Chain A
Amino acid sequence: MSALTEIKSEGDWNKHSASFPPTTLQIIYFKADWAAPCKQMTTVLETLASSYPVTDPPTTSWICMDAEEVIDVSDNFNVTAVPFLVLRRGEQVLETVSGSDATKVRTAIEKHANSSSTGGVNGTSITPSSSTTGAKSFSTHAPTQQEPATAPEFSSGEVKEDKEALHKRLSSLVKAAPVMLFMKGTPSAPQCGFSRQLVALLRENSVKYGFFNILADDEVRQGLKEFADWPTFPQLWVEGELVGGLDIVKEELSNDPEFLKPFSVAKTHNAPVKESPLPEAA
């Protein structure tokens, strides 16, 4: 799964910029640590990044920069407000998204990721057998320092978010991907039997999803229980609505095996995401 990398200086940016293969979709996020919406957007992007496999050459590259630290780069890209997202391939800017609308950001990224020349299948990052872009097998992968998933640097130790800010953050987070799994651990290293089973179920159904490791962020862990009015994890959210835990997902699938079909990799392969009959379009 991909990680969001921070670039701290113009020099570093220039080096990076020169090294991108021409087909890589560059997802460049400008932020400012003093701006509250950026906290949310960072978490959303880290989570989204985690659902894209690391490939060689890279299909996607996720970069974040402090807009004021790299002022020349920001000027170059006409960054006038934060959070600000630039999507680029090679030297060509494809699209920019200003502001903190998570759905808008996600849609823009998916649109361009799916139209890349490699046929850009961003399969579930933990399905070695069904992935078509040579993603590595993560089944024996142990979590490392680089493991993204959540925003550990934003949990305890940071200023205590007040209720409303947390609520907003959670609202964004549950919509970070069409299918979002809040679990204990990560898909490559689940820390709970129920989370592991749910990951396996999603993999069996070739579902493309984003995940969040609630063990790495206690604020989200407790906040989400209240927000969702649901005391347990794992939690599966679809289109910003809570479906339930392992039991419910199993039950839904046994009643209707096509239940997660609209979100499967097989369906979105080589087709723009918009074609899927997503409930929110109705």
Chain B
Amino acid sequence: MASQTPMEDTMRAKIIETLKPSTLEIHNDSHLHSHHKAMAGSTSQETHFRVVITSEAFKNKMQPARHRMVYALLKEEMAREGGIHALQLRTRTLEEETKQAE
């Protein structure tokens, strides 16, 4: 049974394996951007993602460093033609997530 969401599956697998997140949300926002000029000619339904990750791996790291960790994981998928075009990231530690929920 082939997956309809190969990109999302890959992302999930990689993030879980490396960052061991306590929270992981992957939202596919591609349909919101499919009419954009840059997306003309694209057949992929998995181009724009919004990802929320809570992981202790982010502890003591500034935001750019955290985002770079995720970019490094998904480097190939982002560089690939027809791969990930846009990636919105929310990277927090458990402490920050709790604090922000208050």
Contact = CB atoms under 8 A, between A and B. Distances in A.
* Majority secondary structure of chain A interface residues (helix, strand, loop or mixed): mixed
Size category of the B interface is 10 to 19
A252 B63 contact: yes
A248 B33 contact: no
Nearest to B66: A248
A125 to B, nearest CB: 25
B33 A242 contact: no
B64 A242 contact: yes
B41 to A, nearest CB: 17
Contacts of A231: 71, 75, 78-79
Given A193-B33, A230-B71, A231-B78, A244 B88 contact: no
B63 to A, nearest CB: 4
Contacts of A194: 86, 88
Interface string A205-243: 000000000000000000000000111100000000011
A226 to B, nearest CB: 11
Given A230-B71, A232-B86, 6 more contacts: A230-B67, A244-B63, A248-B64, A248-B67, A251-B63, A251-B90
Interface of B: 33, 36-38, 63-64, 67-68, 71, 75, 78-79, 86-90
